[in-house]
Amino acid sequence: MAPLYIRLAAQNLEYFSMRFGVDLESVLYVDEGDIVVAHENLQRALEVVRMVSEYLFSLGRVPVFLGGEHTITYGTARATGEYYKNVCVVVFDAHADLRNEYMGSRMSHACVVSRLVEVLGRDSVVLVGTRAVSREEYEKLREGRIRYIPTRTFRKLGLKHVAQVLSDYVSSCRAVYISVDMDVFDPAFAPGVATPEPDGLTPSDILDLLPEILSSKFVALDVVEVVPPYDPSMVTSMLAAKVVIEFLSGLYSHLKP
Lowest mean pLDDT among 10-14, 41-45, 149-153: 41-45
First-to-final CA distance of the chain: 36
pLDDT band at 103 (very low <50, low <70, confident <90, very high): low
Predicted confidence band of residue 36 (pLDDT cuts 50, 70, 90) = confident
Q: Is the pTM of this model over 0.85?
A: yes
Question: Average pLDDT, whole number, for the chain?
Answer: 94
Per cent of the chain over pLDDT 90 is 85
**Given a cut of 90, is residue 104 above it in pLDDT?**
no
pLDDT at 157: 96
Q: What one-character DSSP code corresponds to residue 36?
A: P
What residues does 213 pair with on adjacent strands? none
pLDDT (0 to 100) of residue 238: 98
SS3 155: helix
Residue 236 has pLDDT above 70, yes or no: yes
The reported pLDDT for the residue numbered 39 is: 63
Residue of 172, 177, 186 lying closest to 91 (CA atoms): 177
Give the domains, in start order, of the chain with CATH numbers.
2-238 (3.40.800.10)
Rounded to 5°, angle at Cα 230 from 14 and 35: 70
82 and 57 Cβ atoms separated by less than 8 Å? no
Under the banding of pLDDT at 50, 70 and 90, the label for residue 257 is: low
Beta bridge partners of 44: none
Q: At what angle do helices 235-255 and 2-10 cross, to 10 degrees?
A: 70
Average pLDDT, integer, range 108-137: 92
**What is the pLDDT, as a whole number, of residue 193?**
97
Mind listing the pLDDT tens digit for each residue in 153-187?
999 999 999 999 999 999 999 999 999 999 999 99
* Per-residue pLDDT tens over the stretch 83-92: 998 999 999 9
pLDDT tens-digit series, residues 199-226: 999 999 999 999 999 999 999 999 999 9
Q: Is the pLDDT of residue 197 over 80?
A: yes
Beta bridge partners of residue 102, listed in sequence order: 105
